[in-house]
Structure 1
Amino acid sequence: MHSMRDVAIVGAGPAGSTCARYLARAGHDVILIDKEEFPRDKPCGGGFSSDIIDEFSYLKDKTDEFLDGICKVGILHSPNRRISLHSRVEMAVALRTKFDAALFDAAVEAGVNTRQKSFVKGVQIKKDKVTIHLSSGDQIDCKAIVGADGVNSIVARKTGLNKMWSTKDVTPCRVSEIPVEQKEIDEMYSKERRYHFFANFNNLPGYGWIFPKLKTVNVGIGVMGPKATGLPMLFQRFIGFLEYKGLLPLNSDISAAKGAIVPTGGTIDRTSCERCILMGDAAGMVNPLTGGGIGYAMQAGRIGAKVLSKHLQEDNLSKDALKIYDELWRAEFGHEIGPLKLVQRLFTSSFTSALFEIGSRDDELQKMVASVMTEMDESKPSTSSIAARALLVCIREAFHLRKS
């Protein structure tokens, strides 16, 4: 068995595989550990900004392996279903089985060692190394560990960075990838592949979505923790509603529906400690409004790899040295998450219908809101600019001013 790895990464999703690839390309000895065997499924919408493919250019040669299309028009529905906001904001869609496998394969191609079907049951951070205990009885020693192991991260718990999520900070979801004939998808969602978000379905704080893909339609619903009871029954009601509206074929097959938990309450206070960093869902790097986090996870993976590479070379993996990781990811994308949490509160409050009414009267505001719903859009407006625009629309309507 290998005596000492440079870095062990727990979790081979978008964050872990991205981090592993960058570290291996920098010349480090990396092992990527996951409890599943790839390819594996993950309950998720599978929608992300197409900017990811440009930003992580090595994915361009792999689009045939994972890309299921580009949805070109987003539609956001009000809780009372009377108002729908439309905007042209492109979103790439993929089956997570294929997308995550492509990222995993890219890491392996870069020279990353892997350990699949391996459950981590313990993590010990010592003065000179980290020891990882597997359920098989094996142990792995490394100089640093990355926790990219999802919302129930054992690395976060064992290091004390996050013992447990509060109920109010998570959104339980129900998701299904529904098989649909391509001809029917074209008829229901047009060649533009219109995707839909539904605010507060059944008057419960949360969101529903429909993402049309190549041969499937991904449907999901999430309800904020304190109100998330009876989710399987609510999901069936949502499916029935979509069938009635002609957005799904009658008697759609939802036998593959699965549950998931998304950390939508914002990021944890600290994502690094002695010889350890956290990323992705393990750190709460998720858009609180939509539950999307693929883009954030990959950005964090790249940043984390650069930080660890530098400090491995300097032989300094102290808590103080790794603080820079927190600073860098917060500067690159973390500053968006707090304001988005405020938007989430507005969109799950009693003011939601009023917000839709305001938005229906202004094309520019619709574009701004639609942009916020996506990941990694460089033109994404700030929360303050959205609030300012909404105020402008209210004043304009009140005084019958000309549109600007």
Structure 2
Amino acid sequence: MTAAPTLLRSSCDVLVVGAGPSGSACAQWLAREGFDVVLVDQHNFPRDKVCGDGLIPDAHAALQRLGVYAEVQAAAQRVSHVACIGPRGGRIDVPGSLSVMPRRELDDILCRAAVRAGARLFTPVRFEAPLREGGRVVGARLKQGDAVVELRATWLVLATGAVPKALLASDVCERQQPSGVALRGYVKNDAMVGRITAMEVVWHQKLRPGYGWIFPCRDGVFNIGVGLAHSHSKMKDGRRTMQDVNLREVFAAFTECYAPAKALMDGGTLQGDLKGAPLRCSLEGAKFSEPGLLVTGEAAGSTYAFTGEGIGKAMETGLLAAEALVAGRRRQLPDAQVRADYESRIRALKPRFDLYEKANRVNEHPWLADLLIWRAKRSPAIVRRMSGVLDETSNPGHLVSLRGLTKLFLPIR
């Protein structure tokens, strides 16, 4: 996708900042409903994005709502299982509706769909600050090249991802530090095609309190990485600071403790550099709204703490923002009621995010993965519950709660 033309108009109904999954989903839905939508991003598309690239059922559901599921699936690597691998090498394959697609390709499809729906895309454009009048956001100051443009909008939607700069500029940032961090690379290794066919997630003492993954893409390319949840849990002078963990060292440990990761790296060719990125999880770290402004996607913390999966919930929260604005226009609701509607929709998701926080103890105590895998091998019911975690019909917290752990020791039925 080539860069859009220079910003000319001085106003629009909704200005969406950030053309990733959340922003593009929001922009497309609003444009479908007849809103005059301007979508801006600081990068030209297609552009790279650090991610595990895994699409689980919630992402598939959002893609279907957005009308791009078939297009994505035609280009994605379909996968039938998530392989959960414990420190002792135990493995259980959990079935699910899954696929893998590099974010460079996925985000471009979503962005183009927003444009087809009628959203006007401008890139590369940097968000500088919101415009305010009478205590309400009424647009934004944007920078395109050397030109600074003030674009007025009835609503501003921030879908700016995990980097907090835009949140800080808008006075909606409640925590600058990320919830977690990740490091990933792409490796081409044709010899591993057929050997790694599932989305493999690995827990090991050497990776604690994180995990490693290998996800198969197309054409002999694999996404390999390591993630660390609660990366900034240490407190110093009243502020959260990064744990004493070097992600590159964790990545090296992954290739040492997990034989397929070593084989992949030793016999493959790294495509580009290893790249790191912050994560904002558990719907925490930012206000969801201010007068005239909504925050959505990973800027609002839409990534799950336990799995690091965020693509599906980013799109879902972007659609929630759009739905609240559509309902507000149809019912001619005042600003405060639109914001209350959006926040209630977001907060309805919070209990599930909290359950993933509970399940995150597996990352901190990898032996729990060994126990769960050992038990799952002997109990189809537990495998079904694990599959239910993927498609959001089962509670992830129950698997590693005190009650859940107690059940693991009960006789098999």
Which deviates further from its counterpart, 150-159 or 106-115? 150-159
Describe how 1:219-230 pairs up with structure 2 within 5 A: 219-224=224-229, 225=231, 226-227=242-243, 229-230=245-246
Q: Distance in 1 between matches of 2:205 and 2:45?
A: 34
Query: 2:138 aligns to what?
Result: 130
Find the residue that maps to 1:90 and give its secondary structure: strand
CA contact (8 A) 2:81 2:94 kept: yes
Give the 3 Å change call, closer, same or farther, for CA 54–358 of structure 1 in structure 2: closer
The partner residue of 1:76 within 84, 93, 100 is 84
Give the 3 Å change call, closer, same or farther, for CA 26–153 of structure 1 in structure 2: farther
Residue 134 of structure 1: CA displacement? 2.0
Find the residue that maps to 2:303 and give its secondary structure: coil
Whether 1:248 and 2:252 are equivalent positions in the alignment is no
Whether 1:12 and 2:12 are equivalent positions in the alignment is no
The superposition leaves residues 253-296 of structure 1 with CA deviations (integer Å, 9 ceiling, x where unpaired) of 33421111112354346311211111111000111111111111
Q: Distance in 2 between matches of 1:4 and 1:199?
A: 50
CA contact (8 A) 1:188 1:248 kept: no
CA contact (8 A) 2:355 2:395 kept: no
Q: Distance in 1 between matches of 2:334 and 2:186?
A: 42
Residue 160 of structure 1: CA displacement? 2.3
The superposition leaves residues 101-145 of structure 1 with CA deviations (integer Å, 9 ceiling, x where unpaired) of 000000000010011111112113324652311233122111110
Amino acid in structure 2 at the alignment position of 1:219: I
Q: Distance in 2 between matches of 1:122 and 1:55?
A: 30
Describe how 1:188-337 pairs up with structure 2 within 5 A: 188-189=195-196, 193-200=197-204, 202-215=206-219, 216-224=221-229, 225=231, 226-227=242-243, 229-242=245-258, 248=264, 250-254=266-270, 255-264=272-281, 266-268=283-285, 270-313=287-330, 316=333, 318-331=335-348, 333-337=349-353
The superposition leaves residues 54-89 of structure 1 with CA deviations (integer Å, 9 ceiling, x where unpaired) of 553311342366x322211222122x3343233223
Amino acid in structure 2 at the alignment position of 1:133: R
Give the 3 Å change call, closer, same or farther, for CA 269–37 of structure 1 in structure 2: closer
Find the residue that maps to 1:323 and give its secondary structure: helix
Q: Distance in 2 between matches of 1:200 and 1:312?
A: 51
CA contact (8 A) 1:266 1:341 kept: no
More strand by share: 2
The partner residue of 2:114 within 101, 107, 112 is 107
Give the 3 Å change call, closer, same or farther, for CA 367–356 of structure 1 in structure 2: farther
Find the residue that maps to 1:177 and give its secondary structure: strand
Query: 1:24 aligns to what?
Result: 31
Whether 1:151 and 2:162 are equivalent positions in the alignment is yes
Whether 1:63 and 2:68 are equivalent positions in the alignment is no
Query: 1:349 aligns to what?
Result: 364
Q: Distance in 1 between matches of 2:49 and 2:43?
A: 10
Amino acid in structure 1 at the alignment position of 2:252: Q
CA contact (8 A) 1:46 1:95 kept: yes
Give the 3 Å change call, closer, same or farther, for CA 274–51 of structure 1 in structure 2: closer
Give the 3 Å change call, closer, same or farther, for CA 101–228 of structure 1 in structure 2: farther
Query: 2:394 aligns to what?
Result: 380
The partner residue of 1:118 within 110, 125, 147 is 125
Find the residue that maps to 1:227 and give its secondary structure: coil
Amino acid in structure 2 at the alignment position of 1:391: T
Paired-residue identity, %: 22
**Structure 2 stretches of 5 or more lacking a match?**
1-7, 232-241
Q: Distance in 2 between matches of 1:320 and 1:201?
A: 49
Amino acid in structure 1 at the alignment position of 2:304: N
Amino acid in structure 2 at the alignment position of 1:256: D
Describe how 1:40-59 pairs up with structure 2 within 5 A: 40-50=47-57, 52-57=59-64, 58-59=67-68
* Moved beyond 6 Å, runs of 4+: none
RMSD, matched Cα? 2.5
Residue 246 of structure 1: CA displacement? 6.2
Q: Distance in 2 between matches of 1:126 and 1:48?
A: 41
Q: Distance in 2 between matches of 1:165 and 1:81?
A: 37
Aligned residues: 383
Query: 2:406 aligns to what?
Result: 391
Give the 3 Å change call, closer, same or farther, for CA 46–228 of structure 1 in structure 2: farther
Residue 29 of structure 1: CA displacement? 0.4
Find the residue that maps to 1:74 and give its secondary structure: strand
Residue 335 of structure 1: CA displacement? 2.3
Query: 2:4 aligns to what?
Result: none
TM-score with structure 1 setting the length:
0.86
Q: Distance in 2 between matches of 1:212 and 1:296?
A: 22
Find the residue that maps to 1:31 and give its secondary structure: strand
Query: 2:235 aligns to what?
Result: none
Give the 3 Å change call, closer, same or farther, for CA 359–243 of structure 1 in structure 2: closer
Residue 310 of structure 1: CA displacement? 2.6
Give the 3 Å change call, closer, same or farther, for CA 309–132 of structure 1 in structure 2: same
Residue 232 of structure 1: CA displacement? 2.2
